[in-house]
Structure 1
């Protein structure tokens, strides 16, 4: 940061070594050349560009420097590079890689005030949220079509989004013991985020689940021969079971324990004889048929009993399902549901999905949607262009290794040149995204 009275042309000499000369007249340097990767993925699959046809721009064309699509791209790309705050735009707007990604070769991008108006006035309303939802659908369509799978597994989960102000619909949630929003997420088993919805803080985890997943079922049910749903005990209710059975969806949902279930399981609760395995955990899987008072019919429930070395009582879990899989396979399939928690952690910890500090609820929903779009852009790179063990890497790894890469940018003979270090160890991933196509 320059002190008062200093200019870009002045030389700074640190006191510890006066032979060192520092100035700010170097070549155009970017520390986030990965902006170009995100633009390439976005452009190749036409994710953000169609939003320009869905939104009405009431600004005077004669006084407009930044198009709506350019500003939406700038906001989403910034989130994808780890700059979740609108204030970051004030210094990023002159970043040479971001300017190239936005198609503003010789002009700066939008500042904080423009992006804040974008969130609140243009995207924070019904038309804006529908446009963002459509863009998210385009991104998930691309992810699902390219994989060409016969089975789709979707996972449902909610999380807390702590609030530290008086935003609309912030409320105290007794389960999380804090003032918060309570968003609902739907992911595939491979980490693609299909949908996200911001909700008031005091709603139940399963509130609005069927309206939330119905558009997904209607869109993707015919794409896949098998359609599976997994969820934890918060989503265990007869309405969900009946809906899945009507739609020919196989479900695996954790069932809370109760006295009747424990009574059915009673004959199986004796600790197995013999020496326990090296892990110290003895496991028994039991198949049950059970009907709660609120159910219209008996349903299959698979119980898993675990005896841990040094523990007096076993650990017991129940999974209600309508699958024909063997009981052990049912438990294995359900256990895969835990991966959605890792994906939500990536979104919250790396891309700051919980940065919902706008006053209006709709503007915060727009922020969440843009965060999810940024996640899916990065996830496309991870799924399509990263291979081997690296495909299991986190979004945080992806940002640090592929997005936050330094480069020198120069302009000559009507062409822009982006010079990345010759020793860059992950150059093959850049070639995969920018040169190979898909």
Structure 2
């Protein structure tokens, strides 16, 4: 006899993640909770409990690779469904992020830069809105060209829904590989990617670096100089445009950065400061994901189980982001972090009255941000009816 449907178990776990209870162990504490039962769709008065920790752990380890691919594409569909009409452009911000390992997780590797054993999953966001597109588990090392292209291939596959939408791939210098450049060229993607400095590039932009130093020497004020040139590394299939940014700080120390891009006509300053540096927002999105939803709790032994976990956290992110962007728009929580929204809005105390055909939640007569709560309830009521 089946006690729980798959939808109920997955919904229960996602709702618990949103509320800050990300561990499977937490299921044992909340399986009788009236609020979670109501959210999942079970009437609290039936006596039927929610899934326990053993049930949740079995589900994590049950998923097959084909099931995970279906979840991967479902997350992308969730993202695409947020657009009322095809967008003109989608910016793919791809950034691996550190997940510490304290056991014997599959794919765990020692990362010399982090000085830890870790996983480094791909986090993929819409760089213009902060919406999460997907997350993919991977080893704790610098991504290879094959990994990057495999990820892009599966995301671009969904572009058939929006054939006229331009896709821009944006990432740091770890993603600048000749195979990645070629893939973007061959599949209609524009790219703007960080590029590691090297002696050849430093010689190519020697005049730009000297110009920045001279400007600082004359003014004794911090300055920034931009330039662009064509460059072809020995492993590249063709010459590509390089943007150079030279920043001389108030101490007279220069900071030279490079990016490689397929944009040929836009100005160097605009491409660097506006287009490329916009990827810095991805760190805020990852902060919401890891700090607000604890998505780095990838402590299962099997890689497939950890992939299942981060998919659940990805779904929780999509829910919380939709709540913030749509329901809380125009309120004091419109730009709040997920943990702030949870503390102020989702954890309001209530007295639960369970009746035969319905459940009533009696809220306090007065509490902080009551007006925002009432607005959210009105919107949800309108959506349901």
TM-score (norm 2): 0.90
Deviation at 1:433? 4.1
1:138: how far off? 3.1
The count of corresponding residues between Structure 1 and Structure 2 is 369
Task: Look up the SS of the partner of 2:169 in the other structure.
Answer: strand
Partner residue of 2:321 out of 360, 364, 379? 379
1:209 aligns with 2:155: no
- Asked if 1:132 corresponds to 2:71, the answer is yes
2:110 pairs with 1:153: no
Q: After superposition, what is the alpha-carbon deviation per residue over 1:96-142, rounded to whole angstroms, capped at 9, x for unaligned?
A: 11010111112321111111111112x3x224313422431332122
> Corresponding residue for 2:206?
266
Structure 1 counterpart SS, 2:102: coil
Residue in 2 that maps onto 1:59: none
1:309 matches 2:255: no
Residues 385 and 432 of structure 1 are in contact (CA less than 8 Å); yes or no, is this contact kept in structure 2? no
The answer for the alignment partner of 1:64 in structure 2 is: 2
Determine the C-alpha separation between the residues in 2 that align with 1:436 and 1:97: 20
TM-superposed deviation, 1:225: 3.2
2:190 pairs with 1:250: yes
- Pick one of 377, 381, 395 that aligns with 2:338: 395
In structure 1, the residue matched to 2:354 is: 411
Is 1:284 aligned with 2:199? no
The CA deviation string for residues 315-372 of structure 1, in whole angstroms up to 9 with x for no partner, is 1111111113211110121000111122122212221111111122211111111111
Relative to structure 1, is the Cα distance of residues 329 and 428 closer, same or farther in structure 2, using a 3 angstrom cutoff? farther
- Cα distance in 2 between the residues matched to 1:127 and 1:80: 26
Kept after mapping to 1: 8 A contact 2:208/2:226? no
Map 1:19-418 onto structure 2 (within 5 A): 63-105=1-43, 106=45, 107-121=48-62, 123=63, 125-143=64-82, 145-146=83-84, 149-189=87-127, 190-202=129-141, 204=143, 208-220=147-159, 223=162, 224-270=164-210, 271=213, 272=215, 274-275=218-219, 280-311=221-252, 313-323=253-263, 324-331=265-272, 332-388=274-330, 390-412=333-355, 414-418=357-361
The answer on 1:431 being equivalent to 2:377 is yes
After TM superposition, which residue ranges in structure 1, 4 or more long, deviate above 4 angstroms? none
Greater relative CO (CA pairs within 8 A, separation 6+): 1
How big is each residue's C-alpha offset from its partner over 1:286-310, in whole Å with a ceiling of 9 and x where there is no partner?
1211111111221111111111011
Do the aligned partners of 1:186 and 1:194 also contact (CA within 8 Å) in 2? Answer: yes
Contact 1:139-1:377 at 8 Å conserved across structures: no
1:248 is displaced (CA, Å) by 2.1
| Equivalent pair of 2:145/2:179 in contact (CA under 8 Å) | no
Summarize deviations over 1:393-415 as a string: whole Å, max 9, x none: 22222222222222222134623
Match of 1:269, SS state, is helix
Q: Is the 8 A contact 2:99 2:118 kept in 1?
A: yes
Structure 1: which 5+ runs fail to align?
A: 1-62
Distance 1:206 1:349 in 2: 29
**In structure 2, what is the Cα distance between the partners aligned to 1:281 and 1:109?**
60
Take 2:76 and 2:91, find their aligned partners in 1: how far apart are those partners?
Answer: 17
Distance 2:145 2:343 in 1: 35
Deviations 1:218-250 (A, max 9, x none): 212662532211000000111111111122221
Question: Aligned equivalents of 2:106 and 2:208: distance in 1?
Answer: 50
Distance 2:342 2:84 in 1: 23
Report the alpha carbon displacement of residue 211 of structure 1 after superposing the two structures with TM.
0.8
Identify the residue that residue 36 of structure 1 maps to in structure 2.
none
| Pairwise CA distance, 1:275 | 3.3
User: 1:411-435: per-residue Cα shift (whole Å, max 9, x none)?
Assistant: 3462322222233412244235412
CA distance in 1, matches of 2:145, 2:237: 20
State the distance in 2 between where 1:423 and 1:192 align: 33
Deviation per CA, 1:143-164: give whole Å up to 9, x if none: 2x24753111111110221110
Gaps of 5+ in 2: none
